[in-house]
Structure 1
Amino acid sequence: MKYCIGIDLGTSSVKVILVNQNGKICGEVSKTYPLIQDKPGYSEQNPEEWVKKTVAALQELFKASTLAPNQIEGISFSGQMHGLVLLDEAHRVLRNAILWNDTRTTEQCEKIKRLVGTKTLLEITKNPVLEGFTLPKILWVKEHEPNVFEQAALFLLPKDYLRYRLTGKLHSEYSDAAGTLLLDVAEKQWSKEICDAVGVDIRLCPPLVESHHCVGTITRQIAEQTSLSVETKVFAGGADNACGAIGSGVLEEGNTLCSIGTSGVLLSYESSSQHDFQGKVHYFNHGKQNAYYTMGVTLAAGFALSWFKDTFAAHENFSDLLDGIEEVPVGANGLLFTPYIVGERTPHADAQIRASFIGMDSRHKMIDFVRAVIEGITFSLNESIEIFRESGKKIDSIISIGGGAKNDEWLQIQADIFNAKIHKLASEQGPGVGAAIIAAYGCGWYTSLKECVDLFSHTVKTFVPMPENVEKYKKLFSLYQLIYQQTKDLNRELYAFRY
């Protein structure tokens, strides 16, 4: 029996998934690493942590199995998007990676708008400029750390750096490159026009390949550390959301995905680059060749729930924290929450907005707050669904993955708020499974990604919207949408008092 490995490099942990030729998950290992948040709005990581924890996860995976090294035929990757890793001429890391959820670059975003123009950005990159993207980070380093920038010979995205360390080969691929603001999404090439406009040498951009392209094999050093074979093929992989789409079977028109991890995304398949959303949602290249997807983002989805637990119920695990939310009525007994604890992305590209609880009452219990947080996260994701529907897309069936798919009551809340059927998969590790599928396809096990998906992924439960709850949530959602406008100015005034 042959096997493939999917490596999902997330924001808080790396997950390594072992699958066999029949699509069965035969092993999973996860290793955590810390965020570095030295100042408000800053979010960084040491890339060496990614390598160290991935090697440790692979070691543990092999230790728990009886596999021979040559049974692992292929490895591929899924990774957090937008992060900046700068390398010098010798391909050494010059500074900590600046992550997708770092919001220090508002000034650089305004500069990009002036130098390139919003219209040109949308025409070339299909996306408006936002703090989380890679290009503003490059300009921030150029302006604030000129000595570092002068040494920079190449930038890589997080999973691309990890793959480089495992293979010694330097590449990026289209689905991740689409989140840099430097890629011509339709033409699938780095944009010299944008590079020239902002003063970035296009030679800083790595070579581009397709997600299923074999970029090399495992180095001897990594093979010795992990028990992998030096003949193990390594495939480029994709951005976490592109891999989540593949792992969940979002491979044709009408397919929609809800993924709730650290951030939350609402993702819908696009067969061409021509659908015009006027920059209201992201428009990226898919991990499937010559395909695309549109996506709305909630910056703090699972992270908002983690923050709540760590701040107010640190002694509880997530299962205990959510125990009993089904007994709390729709609307959490008159309590609303906006999950803006690190700002917001869709539909409000606002780095300064912050979260609110509205309607707190002396009779509210902890479980009311938990339900309000979950409903607030789901309301935020519903704003992306509304944009899709307003553009003419039909969304009546959604695949749900990630932490939000682990609790049945939360899945029912999604069905009721989204007013759509919610499908729970046998495995909610969409990005890791998607990476493994890319490796399996690259190895030639199957003739298409869809053939892989049909074997690797299937629905185990479907949640149908309850009409009475749908109507209640429509009223609550209209109230939720008022909160941003009514707290925006207050949060700007409070900004000066933050840490």
Structure 2
Amino acid sequence: MKYVIGVDLGTSAVKVLLMNNKGEVCLEVSKSYPLIQEKSGYSEQDPTEWVGKTTEALTELVRQFDGDAESIEGISFSGQMHGLVLLDAEQNVLRNAILWNDTRTTEQCEHIYDVVGEERLLEITKNPALEGFTLPKLLWVKQYEPDVLARASVFMLPKDYLRFKMTGAIHMEYSDAAGTLMLNVEEKKWSEELCEIVGIDSKLCPPLVGSHEFVGHITVQFADETGLAPSTKVFAGGADNACGAIGSGILSEGKTLCSIGTSGVVLSYEERNNRDFQGKVHYFNHCEEHAFYTMGVTLAAGYSLSWFKDTFAKDEQFETLLEGLDNVPIGAKGLLFTPYLVGERTPHADSMIRASFIGMDASHKRIDFARAVIEGITFSLHESIEIFRESGKTIDTIISIGGGAKNNTWLQIQADVFNATIVKLSSEQGPAVGAAMLAAYGSGWYDSLQQCADVFIQEEKTYTPIRENVARYNELFQLYKDVYSQTKRLNEGLKSFRT
């Protein structure tokens, strides 16, 4: 039997997954690490935590594995996008990583538009200037920590730093590079023009490789620490959403994914590199060679439900919190929630907007609030689906993964709100499976990622929209969309009161 490992470096934890050449998940280990949030809008992590916890997880996995470590042929990665890691000439970390959900860079985004122009930026990167992307973070460091940038020799993204510490080789692959706002997405190369205009030395950009490309073996030191064989091949990997797409079989035109993790995404496969969404949704390079994907993002999807549980039911499990969810009627008895806890991205690129409960009265119970939170998250994701459909894309079947796929009532809510058939996978591990598939494909087990998907991915259950529920949710959705415009000015006024 042959094996590969998928490493998913997430925002709150790293998950390592051992899979065999039958597409079976054999072992899984997860290790968590903290966020560093010194101020409102700041979100950082210590990159050494990623390396330490991944080493611990792999060591535990190898210890549990009853086979020969030599039979683990390859390892690849999925990682949180956009995070900025800076290394000096001796390859030491210069500061904490600034993460994707950090929103301190509004000023830098405005500067990018001023000097590049919105139209030209979209032509090059196919994406708007948003606080979460990497280039605004680099410009923030340039403005407020110039001594740090002056000492930098290369910038990296989170999973690329982890891979570097395992191999000693520095690379970045296209699916993650597309989220830096520095890549010419269509031409698949760093934009010298853009770097020159904004005043960032293009020498900071690492070499680019394909997601399934072999980039080296693990070092002898890392092999000794974990118990893995020094012969273990390492492959570049991909951005978490691109790997989630691979691990869900989004590998051909017409395939769409809904993934609800800390953030939430609606992702659709694209064969073309020139479709025009006017920057309303993200347009990134896929891990699949010569392919792309478009994506809308809800910044606080699963995070909204986690926040609600931690605030109002801290000592309970999610299953207990959601007991009776299916008994609450559509609209949560007149209660609406907008999931803007950390601002929003699609369709409102707004770092100032904040969440709201609308319509509270004394009759509402905790389960009504829980239902409103789930419906609000789903409405936010539906705004991305609306954009896709308005562009002419047909979306009638959606693979659902993540937290939203763990509750049958929520899956039916997705079917009714999206007015599409929702598919639940039999073994849903999302990005970690996608990373393992890249290692399997890179190791030569299959001639294509699609062949790999045919073995690794199986559907379990489908949920079809209920006509009367679709109509009722469409009515409620129109009210939901009004909340943003009605509360925007109020939230801007409240900004000075946030600490």
Q: TM-score normalized by structure 1? A: 1.00
In structure 2, the partner of 1:186 is 186
CA distance in 1, matches of 2:417, 2:95: 43
Code of the residue aligned with 2:210 in structure 1: it is: E
In structure 2, the partner of 1:376 is 376
In structure 2, the partner of 1:247 is 247
* 1:352 counterpart SS class: coil
* 1:48 counterpart SS class: helix
Residue-by-residue CA offset, 1:230-266 (whole Å, 9 max, x unaligned): 1100000000000011110001110000000000000
Residue-by-residue CA offset, 1:13-55 (whole Å, 9 max, x unaligned): 1010100001000011111111100000000000011001101
In structure 2, the partner of 1:31 is 31
Residue-by-residue CA offset, 1:174-210 (whole Å, 9 max, x unaligned): 0000000000001000000000000000000000000
Give yes or no for the alignment of 1:124 onto 2:119.
no
**Per-residue deviation at 1:157?**
0.4
**Per-residue deviation at 1:115?**
1.0
* 1:153 counterpart SS class: strand
Code of the residue aligned with 1:55 in structure 2: it is: T
Which stretch of structure 1 is more off in the superposition, 313-322 or 359-368? 313-322
**Per-residue deviation at 1:271?**
0.1
In structure 1, the partner of 2:89 is 89
CA distance in 2, matches of 1:59, 1:321: 35
Which stretch of structure 1 is more off in the superposition, 306-315 or 257-266? 306-315
Code of the residue aligned with 2:150 in structure 1: it is: E
CA distance in 2, matches of 1:429, 1:25: 9
CA distance in 2, matches of 1:257, 1:144: 39
**Per-residue deviation at 1:370?**
0.4
**Per-residue deviation at 1:315?**
1.1
CA distance in 1, matches of 2:470, 2:426: 26
In structure 2, the partner of 1:77 is 77
CA distance in 1, matches of 2:102, 2:428: 26
* 1:123 counterpart SS class: helix
CA distance in 1, matches of 2:345, 2:427: 27
In structure 2, the partner of 1:20 is 20
CA distance in 2, matches of 1:487, 1:427: 40
**Per-residue deviation at 1:312?**
1.0
Give yes or no for the alignment of 1:283 onto 2:293.
no
CA distance in 2, matches of 1:251, 1:466: 28
CA distance in 2, matches of 1:374, 1:67: 43
CA distance in 1, matches of 2:165, 2:470: 49
CA distance in 2, matches of 1:243, 1:198: 30
Counterparts of residues 160-179 of structure 1 (less than 5 Å)? 160-179=160-179
Residue segments in structure 2 that go unaligned for 5+ positions in a row? none
CA distance in 1, matches of 2:24, 2:156: 32
Code of the residue aligned with 1:371 in structure 2: it is: R
In structure 1, the partner of 2:312 is 312
In structure 1, the partner of 2:401 is 401
* 1:363 counterpart SS class: coil
**Per-residue deviation at 1:274?**
1.1
In structure 2, the partner of 1:11 is 11
Code of the residue aligned with 2:345 in structure 1: it is: R
**Per-residue deviation at 1:272?**
1.3
Which stretch of structure 1 is more off in the superposition, 141-150 or 482-491? 141-150
In structure 1, the partner of 2:269 is 269
Give yes or no for the alignment of 1:364 onto 2:357.
no
* 2:321 counterpart SS class: helix
* 2:274 counterpart SS class: coil
CA distance in 1, matches of 2:335, 2:427: 32
**Per-residue deviation at 1:428?**
2.0
**Hey, which bits of structure 1, 4+ residues long, moved more than 4 A?**
none
* 1:488 counterpart SS class: helix
Residue-by-residue CA offset, 1:361-412 (whole Å, 9 max, x unaligned): 1010000000000000000000000000000000000000011111111111
Residue-by-residue CA offset, 1:444-483 (whole Å, 9 max, x unaligned): 0011100000100111000001111111100000000000
In structure 1, the partner of 2:106 is 106
**Per-residue deviation at 1:160?**
0.3
Code of the residue aligned with 1:102 in structure 2: it is: D
In structure 1, the partner of 2:458 is 458
**Per-residue deviation at 1:59?**
1.1
**Per-residue deviation at 1:484?**
0.1
In structure 2, the partner of 1:417 is 417
CA distance in 1, matches of 2:175, 2:138: 19
Code of the residue aligned with 1:65 in structure 2: it is: F
**Per-residue deviation at 1:430?**
1.2
Q: Percent identity?
A: 69
CA distance in 2, matches of 1:53, 1:182: 30
Counterparts of residues 214-225 of structure 1 (less than 5 Å)? 214-225=214-225
In structure 2, the partner of 1:142 is 142
**Per-residue deviation at 1:63?**
1.6
CA distance in 2, matches of 1:429, 1:127: 28
Residue-by-residue CA offset, 1:411-461 (whole Å, 9 max, x unaligned): 110000000000001122110000000000000001110000010011100
**Per-residue deviation at 1:60?**
1.2
**Per-residue deviation at 1:116?**
0.8
CA distance in 1, matches of 2:108, 2:197: 13
Code of the residue aligned with 1:302 in structure 2: it is: G
In structure 1, the partner of 2:41 is 41
CA distance in 1, matches of 2:413, 2:350: 26
Give yes or no for the alignment of 1:133 onto 2:133.
yes
In structure 2, the partner of 1:230 is 230
CA distance in 2, matches of 1:69, 1:90: 32
CA distance in 2, matches of 1:67, 1:76: 20
**Per-residue deviation at 1:487?**
0.1
Residue segments in structure 1 that go unaligned for 5+ positions in a row? none
CA distance in 1, matches of 2:217, 2:406: 35
CA distance in 1, matches of 2:55, 2:426: 27
In structure 1, the partner of 2:495 is 495
Counterparts of residues 429-468 of structure 1 (less than 5 Å)? 429-468=429-468
In structure 2, the partner of 1:469 is 469
CA distance in 1, matches of 2:319, 2:457: 25
Counterparts of residues 347-358 of structure 1 (less than 5 Å)? 347-358=347-358
